[in-house]
Amino acid sequence: QEYGKYLDEMKTSFALLFSRTMAKPWIRRAVIAATIVTVFYIALRMWMVSSWGIKMAFGYNPPMNEENMIEFEGQMVDPYSAKYILADKFFEQLDLYNISAFVLDGALLGYLRYNTIMPWDHDLEIRFVAEQDAKQYMLHRAAILGVLEADTDLTTSSEGYITLGKSTWPQIEYPGRAGQAWGNSDVKYCGDEINSCGFNEVGTAAWGDDCMRTHVKGQKEIQCLPLQRVELRGKSPIPGAPELVARVNLPANVEQWVEKYKANLWSCQPNMMQCGAHNLVGNGCVTVPWYHFFFYMVQGHVPCSWVEAVYGGLSMPPRTLGSS
2-11, 34-43, 90-99: least confident range: 2-11
pLDDT band at residue 282, thresholds of 50, 70 and 90? very low
Task: Say if residue 231's pLDDT is above 70.
Answer: yes
Q: Which residue has the higher pLDDT, 321 or 128?
A: 128
- Using one digit for the tens of pLDDT, what is the confidence trace for 107-116? 998 999 999 9
Q: Mean pLDDT over all residues of the chain?
A: 83
The per-residue pLDDT for 215 is: 62
CB-count exposure of residue 19 (10 Å: 0-12, 13-18, 19+): exposed
Kindly state the average pLDDT of the residues 26-37. 81
| Predicted local distance difference test score (pLDDT) of residue 32 | 81
- Residue 51 Cα distances to 55, 292, 309, angstroms: 6, 15, 9
- Model confidence at 43: pLDDT above 60: yes
Question: Is residue 225 pLDDT above 50, yes or no?
Answer: yes
Question: What value does the CA radius of gyration of the chain take, rounded to a whole number of Å?
Answer: 25
pLDDT of residue 182: 87
Task: State how far the Cα of 256 lies from the Cα of 260, in Å rounded to an integer.
Answer: 8
- Cα separation, 281 vs 58, in Å, equals 19
Side-chain-facing half-sphere of 175: CA atoms under 13 Å? 24
Contacts 24+ apart (CB under 8 A), 41-44: 41/298, 44/294, 44/298
Confidence band of 47 (pLDDT split at 50, 70, 90): confident
Residue 28: band (very low, low, confident or very high) from pLDDT cuts 50, 70, 90: confident
DSSP assigned state of 264: G
Specify the pLDDT at position 309: 93
pLDDT at 2 over 80: no
**Confidence (pLDDT) at 157:** 55
User: Are 221 and 192 in contact, with CB atoms under 8 Å apart?
Assistant: no
What pLDDT was estimated at residue 147?
94
Q: Is the pLDDT of residue 222 over 80?
A: no
Q: Which of 88 and 277 is assigned the larger pLDDT?
A: 88
Across residues 178-190, what is the average pLDDT? 86
Which helix (H) or strand (E) segment holds residue 234: the answer is strand 228-234
pLDDT greater than 90 at residue 132: yes
The answer on pLDDT for 158 being more than 60 is no
Q: In the beta sheet, which residues pair with residue 285?
A: 275
Closest by CA position to 241, among listed 82, 118, 101? 82
- Residue 222 near residue 205, CB atoms below 8 Å: no
**Tens-place pLDDT, residues 190-205:** 877 777 776 567 666 6
CA distances from 275 to 83, 120, 146, 167, 223 (A): 13, 10, 24, 11, 33
Angstrom distance (rounded) from CA 96 to CA 23: 81
